[in-house]
Amino acid sequence: MKIKEITVSVSQKVNTGNFQSKGFGLSASAELSEQEDLLQVKQTLTNSLNKMLDFEIKKIKEGGSQ
């Protein structure tokens, strides 16, 4: 079986105090070429999404809006 596409999703909830929380999630998909390694593409997507998620979570913790 040849996998042609992969989708990775990351999400996180943050306690904002007073028994409240906010959540934020991101997803990305990539088409795989014949030469690409599935695990490498997954790791690249995961790393990119985690960097973006960290940025958004930092804004939430600092009191900014989504």
pLDDT per residue over 5-61, tens digit each? 999 999 999 888 888 888 889 999 999 998 999 999 999 999 999 999 999 888 877
What residues have CB less than 8 Å from 5, skipping those under 6 apart? 29, 30, 31, 32
Q: Is 42 helix (H, G, I), strand (E, B) or coil?
A: helix
Asked whether 28 and 8 are in contact (CB, 8 A), the reply is: yes
What is the model's pTM? 0.80
Beta bridge partners of 22: 14
